[in-house]
Amino acid sequence: MEQTQKEQVEKAGAIVLHHDNSARVALIYRAKEKDWSFPKGHIEIGELPLAACIREVEEEIGLKVDILTQLPDNEYLHKTGKKIITYMYLVRSRGGDFVIEHPEDKIEWVDIQEVKNRLVYDNLKNYYNSVLPLIESRA
């Protein structure tokens, strides 16, 4: 009997605020995907979304963070037809320098109002626009 792939993929990620300046958000340029995004990744088996978020932020941009609040989930259909659910959190960095996971990637602090212009995918732009008032109220 052939195995079927899961119809749903669960990820966790964060909108990372600068430790000293809440008007700056960390974005990662993923050279392989040719896009700017928030640090995020797949949830491992048995891992809670919050733990996955903290792990992924540290793996992708090298920063330890404090959780400010859980944000609404970002749900969308991938081009493969799979439903993607990304459990998102608003976090603040504890300071320190970025550590790049893949040498061809880039990480930058971007002004909170400029973020939407850097994001490539409509689903991520729409998501960011929808949570921006929440971010600004917590920043």
Cα separation, 136 vs 4, in Å, equals 42
Is the pLDDT assigned to residue 114 strictly greater than 50?
yes
Q: Which tokens sit at 84?
A: 């993607």
pLDDT in tens, 120-129: 989 999 999 9
Taking the alpha carbons of 49, 119, 7, 102 in that order, is the dihedral positive or negative?
negative
pLDDT of residue 138: 79
The residue written with tokens 């048995």 in the block is: 46
**Closest C-alpha among 71, 73, 75, 61 to residue 27:** 61
**Closest C-alpha among 102, 18, 12 to residue 57:** 12
Query: pLDDT-based confidence at 4, cuts 50/70/90?
Result: very low
Is the pLDDT assigned to residue 5 strictly greater than 70?
no
Query: pLDDT-based confidence at 6, cuts 50/70/90?
Result: low
